[in-house]
Amino acid sequence: MAEQYQSREERRKKLQQQKAKQKPKKKSRDLLKKIFLSLVAFGIICIIAGVGTFAYLVKDAPPLDPKLLKDPIPSKVLDKNGDLITEVGAVNREYVNYKDIPPVVENAILATEDYRFYKHHGIDPIRFAGAVLANFQRGFGAEGGSTITQQVVKNAFLTNKKTLSRKVQEAWLAFQLEQKYTKHQIFEMYVNKVLVGGNNYGIATAAKVYYGKELNELNLAEAAQIAGMPQSPNNYNPFTHPDLAEKRRNIVLSLMYQHGYITKKQMDEAKKVSVKDTVLKPKDRKINDKPFDSFVDAVIDEVKENTDFDIMTDGLTIHTTLDKNAQEHVYNLLNSKDIPYPDDQFQAGIVLLDTKTGEIRAIGGGRNQKVQRGFNYAIDTRRQPGSTIKPVLDYAPAIEYLNWGTYQMIEDKPITYSTGKKFGNWDQSYKGAMTIRTALQLSRNSPAVQTLQKVGLVKAKNFAKGIGIPLKEIYESYAIGGFGGKTVGVSPLEMAGAYSAFGNNGVYTKPHAVTKIELRDGTVISLAPEPKVAMKDSTAFMITDMLKSVLEYPGTGVRAKVPGLPIAGKTGTTNYTDEEISKWHIPSRSAVPDAWFTGYTTNYTASIWTGYKDRSTPILAVGDNQRIAQLIFKDLMAYVSKDIDTPDFTMPSSVQKVRIEKGSMPPVLASEYTPSSQVDIEYALKGHAPRTVSQKYYKLDSPTNLAASYDETTNSIAVTWSYKNTNESVTFDVSDGKKHYTAQDNKITLPAEPGKIYKITVVAISGSKKSDPVTISITVPKTAKDNQPGNENNNGNGNETGNNNGNQNENGSGNGTGNENGNDNGNGTGNGNGTGNGNGNVNENNNGHNNGNSDGQDPTAPPENSDSNG
């Protein structure tokens, strides 16, 4: 029994131990069950949330409009009056049906864009997963993962904006598209919709534009090049970027080999083909002769820069600033025979702005342009600005930061840059001290560099950036427009923007061609930039007034002057270095690579660059070659200013007019005695005008004790006066009302005429200084005798010889008649009856016996007109 009990006890204990061991396992199973149920619940919630989110995101997705799938939506471009000037995206499309697409083209597109196109239903899960991973690693939008179907949907119905809602809508619409259309139909939509550069759409269009071939005539290399373009059409344009186009083509060829469409041998042979050598040559390309294309270039750039819209496909209505008449005139100017262009290769870039608003009225992108959306010399070029930069970097900052006036004196003298490097004026001469107005008018280099050195490079750079000249760095050589490097320079668009700020009282508005965009749903987006104050109005006015002098002789811009129009402006030419002259075999040091003119009125601002595509081709100093920019400016400004009011620039209240004595260094105010010929009218910032008055010119003391008396004996007037002792050498100007006499002493004897009233004036003179005049009047009696005493007996015939200019000698005897005609100026005495005193014509009839000797002289005798008969 005991053994049985013990056995039962042991069994009970063992059972309890077994239960204790089994309990944790049960708890573990319960926990796993709960986790599983939670995950299922969470999954259901996520699915519900996902479905809800998906439904929310796709609720605004546009419907699949069959018309939009076949045709792109062109964007309308309107001028400043709201009139249509062109449609962008509606032209130059060669449509191709799927059956006419050659296998080599289809394979190139599939390998590049979507090699599993025929295996998925609009969304490629593998490609999508790879894109998601890339987006997590490099940020949203790093990789799109779009299939060909998705690209068709995006191009037809959506925007290029990289957002989650767009991607979801894109996937949803792609799935729908696959349900309604066959793969061949969707592929046909794709090849006809893609942008292939400029305003060209569709793969068949690309074949004709770039190779002059039908689509079925393309070889492997050509098909691969075109298939690679849609990713970045303008960057892979074989006309403008053949090197980039060739690199992209080689990537396509590699993808074709990778996915089994071609052999390695085919790939290698196709890669050896030069894109540059196989595309159409310039002479065979389509000629662009539309007057608005250069302006549309700017419109496309602005829409791309400021929005995510595709102007070629999004059906935008774009309101621009274009003046249609001005644009047509600019186009005609560039292709005119009236402007003496030296040859057909000579180029020009033109920008016309509204001075007050910064709105672009016209753009001239170049001469003889053969390619649409080609290089635009008005907005794409980066050339050295020459002396047109002097107001921007030198003189305006000096006026702004140093409070200089237009009278500020600076010496045109040989100097070096701070580095010790030498430079000189364009004519290798120096003119000494001059105002900054004159230095700018004559475009002197030495004063410009000295001014920049005084302003400081940092301040000058910041000032330039404030008016749209984007300098990343600056050197002293920039003071005269000597920008270094091939990529450092300015465009006519930037120069026009900077100068318009001078003409707009210091307010800068970024030049712009687009004011607003209307979307298809009626949404309006404004693109007009906000104006900003870039400088003091005093700076703008003083620079403007100085630049007006440039168009006046002897200024460098006289050929740009339009009579009757208040214009401010500046010329600019650049030079070749000694190394460039040797390297490029430049025939003369007078040849230049660039010639500019930028100027403005209160209404319009225009900037014109002229030169050749390659800087190595010089503008020779022949005829007006280097002044064509001025001629274009003059013609354009006269045209746009015709029949409208162009007010002059108004001096702001912050500026005062000052009378500066010419040549004073430092500048001093002209005194009240400074001769007008020695006074310059200049301008100063109020509170900063010179305070010192010139002592160079002052008024002398006037003579005193002026007296005059008549001497009957000598028939003359004796004039006397007093004058205090002075250290200066003083002479006196004496006038009797008809004639001026100079006296060294304080007295003079003047000739007199009976019965006359004389008003005698005396003025003290020393060099250029004068005194106030003193005056006295005296009357000569009418009874005065001719002051020529003498006796003449004229009996018989006589001989008379007279020297009637103060001396008269008469000898004669006998009977006879004598006639005398002559000028008698003197007193004569003789033996006879008669007196003579005068300075005039004498007509004497001598009838009698003359027995005498007459000799008379008086250098102060008054004029005599007498007839004598004795």
Pairing of strands 866-869, 837-847: parallel
Q: How many Å apart are CA 570 and CA 560, to the nearest integer?
A: 9
Give 384: exposed, middle or buried? Use CB within 10 Å, 0-12, 13-18, 19+.
buried
Give 562: exposed, middle or buried? Use CB within 10 Å, 0-12, 13-18, 19+.
buried
Contact 741, 772 (CB under 8 A): no
Q: How many Å apart are CA 605 and CA 495, to the nearest integer?
A: 10
- Select which of 387, 500, 716, 854 is catalytic: 387
Q: Which residues contact 408 (CB under 8 A, 6 or more apart)?
A: 398, 435, 436, 667
Written as six digits, the tokens of 156 are 């037809």
Q: How many CB atoms lie within 10 A of CB 337?
A: 6
Helix (H) or strand (E) holding 842: strand 837-847
Q: How many Å apart are CA 412 and CA 450, to the nearest integer?
A: 9
Helix axes 445-455, 457-466, angle to 10 degrees: 100
Contact 100, 188 (CB under 8 A): no
Question: Is-catalytic flag, 387?
Answer: yes
Vertex 172: Cα angle to 169 and 176 (nearest 5): 135
Question: Is-catalytic flag, 729?
Answer: no
SS3 632: helix
Written as six digits, the tokens of 86 are 């062109």
What's the count of helices (H) and strands (E) in the chain, helices before strands? 23, 30
Q: Which residues contact 210 (CB under 8 A, 6 or more apart)?
A: 197, 225, 226, 238, 239, 279, 280
Contact 90, 72 (CB under 8 A): yes
Q: How many Å apart are CA 210 and CA 196, to the nearest integer?
A: 10
What letter would DSSP give residue 730?
Answer: -
In 3D, which of 313, 238, 314 has the Cα closest to residue 275?
238
Contact 481, 464 (CB under 8 A): no
Place of tokens 């986790």: 35
- Select which of 106, 113, 359, 864 is catalytic: 113
In 3D, which of 634, 629, 492 has the Cα closest to residue 573?
629
Q: Amino acid identity, residue 29? A: R
Four-CA torsion 801, 802, 803, 804, nearest 10 degrees: -170
Written as six digits, the tokens of 326 are 């001005």
Helix (H) or strand (E) holding 718: strand 716-722
Q: How many Å apart are CA 481 and CA 354, to the nearest integer?
A: 25
Written as six digits, the tokens of 124 are 């490629």
Helix (H) or strand (E) holding 209: helix 203-211
Four-CA torsion 379, 383, 388, 394, nearest 10 degrees: 110
Place of tokens 């560099």: 449
Q: How many Å apart are CA 369 and CA 294, to the nearest integer?
A: 10
Give 25: exposed, middle or buried? Use CB within 10 Å, 0-12, 13-18, 19+.
exposed
Question: Counting every residue, how long is the chain?
Answer: 870
> Which of the residues are catalytic?
113, 387
